[in-house]
Amino acid sequence: MTTREEIEILVVEDEEPIRRGLCDVLAYHGYKPLGVENGEEGLREGLTNRFALILLDIMLPGLSGFEVCEGIRQKHPHQLIIMLTARGSEEDVLTGFRVGADDYVTKPFSVAELVARVEALLRRSGRMRREEQTAFRFADWEIDPANLEAVKGEVKVELSAREVSILALFLREQGRIVSRRMLLQEIWEVPDPDRIETRTVDMQLAKLRKKLNHDETQLIETVRGAGYRFAE
């Protein structure tokens, strides 16, 4: 049985106070962090494939975080990678997703946010039991997971279980960019998202939009080259 002490996390961050802070937070939460300060070391350690997850800064001396991510991803498609991006730099988030990052955390981040992202990604990859789904609001729709339907006033639309899961995910990730990779991992539960046509995701999203968009507003916007975002 794996104990939490054995969950190793690699932290690639050149700024010493941030690196130490990250390692301290992770150790406090029961993980076993290893901090390295440049891209070369990050790539070398990352390629050993012994880390449950890698926190990867973008601006690094030598190899950039993007290059490190790409290098690791080529060898290890399942490696979990969270990029550390600057707040407001959507371009970094998009590039991160393009080179294979699973998720991102914007700097400066709160400890709570960071730990939440780390735990969510580990949980997702571990295929943990899904949380019970209770009714929730999505924009002006009332989503009823038990009866698989969306209700708005007099209008009632049937949903599939997968569509309900997609809406729940977008609600949870409200305002954040959700990559196709994340959707494939979490909704389709494919272990290796790179082998699946991302068109599968796009087609499902198009269908879902059509069902809910009877007033023509785009509830879920497409973020070019990256994925989708629900920003109400």
Q: How far is the CB of 23 from Ca ion (least distance, A)?
A: 15
What distance in Å separates the CA atoms of residue 179 and residue 185, rounded to the nearest whole number?
Answer: 10
Q: How far is the CB of 107 from Ca ion (least distance, A)?
A: 9
Please state the length of the chain. Answer: 232
Residue with tokens 């080179």: 99
Q: Does 57 bind Ca ion (CB under 5 A)?
A: yes
Smaller CB separation from Ca ion, 64 or 198: 64
Q: How far is the CB of 151 from Ca ion (least distance, A)?
A: 48
User: Which of 3-11, 19-27, 56-64, 216-224 is the region at the interface with Ca ion (rule: CB under 5 A)?
Assistant: 56-64
Q: How far is the CB of 67 from Ca ion (least distance, A)?
A: 14
Residue with tokens 């690639």: 12
Q: Does 103 bind Ca ion (CB under 5 A)?
A: no
Smaller CB separation from Ca ion, 59 or 169: 59
Taking residues 169 to 208 in sequence order and writing x for each that binds Ca ion by CB under 5 A, - otherwise, the string is ----------------------------------------
Q: How far is the CB of 65 from Ca ion (least distance, A)?
A: 8
Q: How far is the CB of 14 from Ca ion (least distance, A)?
A: 5
Structure tokens, 103: 């998720």
Smaller CB separation from Ca ion, 86 or 196: 86
Q: Does 59 bind Ca ion (CB under 5 A)?
A: yes
**42 touches 81 (CB < 8 A):** no
54 φ/ψ angles, rounded to the nearest 5 degrees? -125, 125
- Per CB under 5 A, contacts with Ca ion among 7-46 are 14
Largest CA distance in the chain: 59
What distance in Å separates the CA atoms of residue 37 and residue 81, rounded to the nearest whole number?
Answer: 16
CA separation (Å) from 171 to 121, 219, 228? 17, 11, 12
Contacts of residue 44, defined as CB under 8 A and 6 or more positions apart, other chains included, come to none
Smaller CB separation from Ca ion, 68 or 178: 68
Q: Which residue is nearest to Ca ion (CB)?
A: 59
**60 touches 68 (CB < 8 A):** yes
**64 touches 19 (CB < 8 A):** no
Q: Does 67 bind Ca ion (CB under 5 A)?
A: no
Give the interface with Ca ion as residue ranges (CB under 5 A).
Answer: 14, 57, 59
